[in-house]
């Protein structure tokens, strides 16, 4: 029976899977069994070559070693038997499954905030793309005036697969409450933010809010565990936002 070799790529640092699979593979595998949470395979490469690889030395030192396996997804190495040339993988979620996108969800009622954020993000992305080892793009949710929000599957995917979700939570109105008024956030931003909270971790979401002297009150929800930045005007935002975005992107080793 012919052996069907699977290709596996070592994921040393963040890189979109589409780019990873264009490179020569790190290992050739013959799959023995595939479980819901793992995979067992024989490696077809020379044992001495495998033993001398950088990733194998990292595995021996106790480091987490990730691979993308052709047609199966992303795994970490759980155990290696050099004698029998068997290798055991455990299924994992990897940042390499993300796309080099910063996704911006704008509100539609207070244009001063929207214009300041859009301008700052455009400048940041242009600057970062020139210095980043992987080009970064800015994705902005299109807004149609006087129509309900209709997010496509493509937009949901872009939110979940983005490196960073930035939401404009500048208050757009207020309603009287007991004691203090309650501030309201654009409902369309709330929908996208809610989906982002479900699919992303805290370090991948940034909330921006411009101060509005004409609106005072309590925020509609508490998101203390997420990065937040308040600003008074575009000039102030232009100074503080680049450093914050770069800090949030550090996990991807782009620079």
Does 200 map to a domain?
yes
pLDDT one-digit tens code per residue, 132-161: 999 999 999 887 766 666 778 888 899 999
Same domain, 117 and 211: yes
Report the pLDDT averaged over residues 12-39: 89
238 and 145 in one domain?
A: yes
CA diameter of the chain? 77
Please tell me whether residues 137 and 226 are part of one structural domain. yes
Of 96, 113, 139, the last residue of a domain is: 96
Instruction: Specify whether 121 is located in the same domain as 245.
Output: yes
* 218, two tokens: 């309590």
Quickly list H helices, the chain: 17-20, 47-51, 54-60, 111-131, 153-161, 187-199, 234-248
- Residue 1 lies inside a defined structural domain of this protein: no
105 and 61 in a common domain: no
- Dump pLDDT digits (tens) for 38-82: 899 999 999 999 999 999 999 999 999 999 999 889 999 999 999
> DSSP secondary structure string, 83-106?
TTTEEEEEE---GGGSEEEEEEE-
Helix axes 234-248, 111-131, angle to 10 degrees: 40
Position 72 scores a pLDDT of: 87
* Owning domain of residue 17: 6-96
Residues 45, 171: one domain? Answer: no
Among 79, 96, 113, the domain boundary falls at 96
* Nearest Cα residue to 118 out of 98, 134, 102: 102
Instruction: Name beta bridge partners: 1.
Output: none
């Amino acid at each position: 029976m012919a052996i069907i070799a699977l290709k596996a790529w070592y994921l040393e640092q963040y890189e979109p899977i589409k780019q990873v699979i264009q490179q020569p593979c790190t290992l050739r595998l013959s799959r023995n069994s595939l479980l819901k949470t793992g995979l067992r395979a024989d490696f077809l490469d020379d044992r001495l070559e495998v033993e001398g690889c950088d990733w194998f030395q990292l595995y021996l030192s106790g480091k987490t070693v990730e691979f993308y396996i052709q047609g199966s997804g992303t795994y970490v190495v759980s155990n290696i038997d050099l004698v029998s040339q068997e290798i055991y993988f455990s299924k994992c979620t990897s940042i390499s499954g993300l796309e080099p996108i910063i996704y911006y969800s704008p509100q539609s009622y207070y244009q001063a905030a929207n214009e300041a954020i859009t301008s700052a993000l455009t400048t940041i992305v242009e600057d970062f793309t020139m210095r980043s080892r992987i080009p970064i793009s800015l994705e902005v949710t299109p807004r149609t005036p006087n129509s309900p929000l209709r997010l496509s599957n493509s937009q949901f995917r872009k939110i979940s697969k983005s490196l960073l979700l930035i939401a404009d939570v500048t208050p757009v109105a207020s309603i009287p409450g007991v004691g203090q008024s309650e501030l309201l956030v654009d409902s369309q931003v709330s929908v996208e933010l809610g989906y982002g909270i479900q699919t992303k971790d805290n370090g991948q979401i940034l909330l921006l809010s411009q101060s509005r002297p004409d609106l005072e009150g309590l925020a509609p929800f508490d998101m203390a565990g997420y990065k937040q930045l308040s600003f008074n005007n575009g000039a102030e935002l232009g100074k503080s936002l680049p450093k914050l975005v770069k800090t949030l992107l550090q996990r991807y080793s782009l620079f």
